[in-house]
Structures are given as structure tokens and as C-alpha cells.
Copies of this chain bind each other. A is one copy, B any other.
Amino acid sequence: MSTSVQAPEQAGRAYHHGDLRSALVCAAVARVEEVGAEHVSLRAVAAEVGVSPSAAYHHFADKDALLGEVAAQGLHQLVIAVSAEVEAIPAGSREAAMLRFRAAGQAYVSFALSHPQLFRVAFSPYCLEQPGVPTTDDGSVPVLSALLNDLVNTGGMNAAVRDDSEDVFVATLHGLATLALQGMIPADRVPQLLAKVEQLIGVNP
């Protein structure tokens, strides 16, 4: 459940060198998930870590920069979550490729619904101010790109269809997740809609 950002080794210890930067990001992520990015205060985050508010300014230019890191973390965790579900299914056959594809879609939406605030901040303006975030060329979610390659290679998808399908698929997935989060699409219809997407996009059973 936790990721690359670690809490300090020993609690209660005086910090100074125990990688405060990561600890702050970690606490900020937690706080964002609790109350949403718009209600997070720098001071509360610092207090949770047991440090004075100004300490944060030795690691981040301002509050927005901290939230930018949270956004990057959110994107990262999303990729991790999707990858984990996909890689839990051994690759190889065409059937496997399809199962992995399906798992990716479900994992994407599941992540959004189980970490709503983190998902939201990951696609907020905060992550725009952030360098090193996966952009277009990188593919918004590289895992998905790889999955489509697998599908094509194992014959589960027509190669000619692939290129445009990638962005469309990613967009649909993201839209479903967002609208479901917003309550504009009932969450229980999502699996059915995902199946429909598969069919439309040209995944051959």
C-alpha cells in the first residue's frame, strides 16, 4: 500500500537528516487523502511530521510545490497500482494479454474510486507546475501503451487499429474514472462500460 516515500526509521527521533522532504510529502499525501488538496495546510502537514512550519521551506519553494510533489506521487501510485494488477497475470498467450488489458482498466478505475482525492490532485494544475511528470511522449500511463503492444503481438488486436486506439482508450478510461468519481456515472455500471469499450476499441476475443 505504501510506496517509495518512506516514513523516518524511528518515530519520536529528532529529525535532522532523516529525510524530512520525503516525510513531508508522505504526510501531505495522507492529509490530501483525508481532507482533499484544497483543505490541506502546510502547517498541519509540518505538525504531523513534528517539525516547525518554516522547516518545509528548506525543501519546497512554497505550499504549491509541496502539493506538486503530492500530485506526482499520486500519478506514480496510480501507475504502480495498475502495473501491479497487470503483472499479477502472467503474460504470454493471447488470452493472457486480454485479461491483462481488462485488469488494467479495472485497476485504473478502482484506484480512482479508492483514492479519490489523490487521483484528483494527480490530474490537477498542481502537477503541471511539476517537472518530470509523464507527458505526452512518455504516454500518460506507459503501462497501458505496453499492454496494447502485447495485445497486438499476440494477435488480440489489429495492428492497424492500435495507434489511434491508444489515446482514445486512455481518454475513455480516464473519463470513466473521473465521471464515476463525480457520481455522474453510477460506479456499478463501470465494469459493463469497460467491456463495451473493449469491444469498441477492437479487442478480439
- Which residues from chain A sit less than 8 Å from chain B, CB to CB? 36-38, 117, 120, 123-125, 127-128, 134-136, 140, 164-165, 167-168, 170-176, 178-179, 182-186, 189, 192-193, 196-197, 200-202
Q: Give the residue of B170, B182, B183, B186 whose beta carbon is less than 8 angstroms from that of A175.
A: B170
Say yes or no: A140 contacts B184, CB within 8 Å.
yes
Interface of A is mostly: helix
Knowing A38-B37, A123-B182, A135-B183, say if A167 contacts B189 (CB, 8 Å).
yes
A64 to chain B, nearest CB (A): 8
In the complex, besides A168-B200, A170-B179, 8 extra interface pairs with C-beta distance below 8 angstroms are: A38-B125, A135-B183, A135-B184, A136-B185, A136-B186, A165-B196, A167-B176, A174-B175
Quick one: closest B residue to A123, CB to CB?
Answer: B182
Asked if B185 and A179 make an inter-chain contact with CB atoms under 8 angstroms apart, the answer reads no
Pick from B38, B117, B171, B202: contact of A172, CB below 8 A: B171
The smallest C-beta distance from A51 to any residue of chain B, in angstroms, reads 24
A127: nearest chain-B partner, CB-CB: B182
Task: Say how far A43's CB is from chain B's closest CB, in angstroms.
Answer: 17
How long is the Cα–Cα vector from A36 to B37 in the complex, in angstroms? 13
The answer, among B175, B182, B186, for a CB contact under 8 Å with A176, is B175
Whether the pair B174, A178 counts as a contact (CB closer than 8 A) is yes
Interface pairs A-B: 7 shortest CB-CB:
A175-B175, A171-B175, A140-B184, A174-B175, A172-B172, A171-B176, A164-B196
Decide: A174 near B179, CB < 8 A? Known: A196-B164, A197-B168: yes
List of B residues within 8 angstroms of A182 by Cβ: 123, 127-128, 140
- Provided the pairs A167-B189, A168-B172 are in contact, do residues A178 and B120 lie with their beta carbons within 8 angstroms? no
